[in-house]
Amino acid sequence: MIVLCTDFGNDGPYIGQMKAVLFRAAPGMPVVDLFADLPAFDIEAAAHLLAAYAVGFPRGDVFLAVVDPGVGTARSPAAVLADGRWFVGPDNGLFQVVAARARHVRWWEITWRPPVLSATFHGRDLFAPIAARLACGGEPPGVEVAPARRLSPDWPAELPRIVYCDRFGNAMTGLRRRSISAADAITVAGRRLAHAATFGAVPAGAAFWYVNANGLVEIAVNRGSAANRLGLRVGDPVHVVRADAGTTP
Span 77-102, pLDDT tens digits = 999 999 999 999 999 999 999 999 99
Over range 102-112, report the average pLDDT. Answer: 97
Residue environment code for 80-89, b if the CB has 16+ CB neighbours within 10 A, otherwise e: bbbeebbbbb
Question: Is the confidence at residue 167, as pLDDT, over 70?
Answer: yes
Question: Is the confidence at residue 138, as pLDDT, over 60?
Answer: yes
Tell me the angle at which helices 14-25 and 128-135 cross, rounded to the nearest 10 degrees.
40
Question: Mean of the per-residue pLDDT values for the chain?
Answer: 95
**Quick one: pLDDT band at residue 153, thresholds 50, 70, 90?**
confident
Span 178-193, pLDDT tens digits = 999 999 999 999 999 9
Question: Is the confidence at residue 249, as pLDDT, over 80?
Answer: no
Are 75 and 91 a contacting pair, CB within 8 Å?
yes
Q: Name the nearest CA neighbour of 172 among 164, 184, 180, 182.
A: 164
- How many C-beta neighbours within 10 Å does residue 157 have? 12
Tell me which CATH code domain 159-248 carries: 2.40.30.90
Q: Give me the pLDDT at residue 163, please.
A: 98
Are 90 and 50 a contacting pair, CB within 8 Å?
no
Question: Is the confidence at residue 112, as pLDDT, over 90?
Answer: yes
Task: List the domain boundaries for the chain.
Answer: 2-150, 159-248
Q: Give me the pLDDT at residue 244, please.
A: 82
Over range 218-246, report the average pLDDT. Answer: 93
Over range 230-234, report the average pLDDT. Answer: 97
Asked if the 2-150 domain carries CATH number 3.40.50.10790, the reply is yes
Q: In 93-243, which ranges are E strands?
A: 105-110, 142-145, 159-165, 171-176, 185-188, 191-193, 207-211, 216-221, 239-241
Over range 44-48, report the average pLDDT. Answer: 97
Are 71 and 77 a contacting pair, CB within 8 Å?
no
Q: Give me the pLDDT at residue 248, please.
A: 52
Q: Give me the pLDDT at residue 247, please.
A: 52
Q: Give me the pLDDT at residue 246, please.
A: 52
Percentage of the chain beyond pLDDT 70 is 98
How wide is the angle at C-alpha 196 spanned by C-alphas 192 and 202, nearest 5°?
90
